[in-house]
Amino acid sequence: MIPMVTIEVMTGKELQEWRRKWGLSQKGLAQRLGVIRVTVARWETGTRAIPSFLSLALEALENRMEKEGRHGEGV
């Protein structure tokens, strides 16, 4: 049997806090996720729903940035 994984959807405020913690601008996060800056802005303001898988993508991004010894670098 395969264990089920529960994914909690982030709020816009949580996304903004995550982005700032990692020193990323909206543009920098958007580039790393392959979306445009306006998409990140809309997620943060609640204009657009945050995809349920975004938390997994951010976790992978954290791991990559830690391995590269970067903490966002404010891009």
Fold of 12-64: 434 Repressor (Amino-terminal Domain) (1.10.260)
**Can you give the pTM of this predicted structure?**
0.81
* Dist. CA 34–CA 6, nearest whole Å: 24
What does the alpha-carbon distance between residue 69 and residue 2 come to, in Å, rounded to a whole number?
34
Tens digits of per-residue pLDDT, 2-59?
776 666 789 999 999 999 999 999 999 999 999 999 999 999 999 999 999 999 999 9
The residues near 41 (Cβ < 8 Å, ≥ 6 apart) are 26, 47
The amino acid at 2? I
Q: Give the H or E element holding residue 47.
A: none
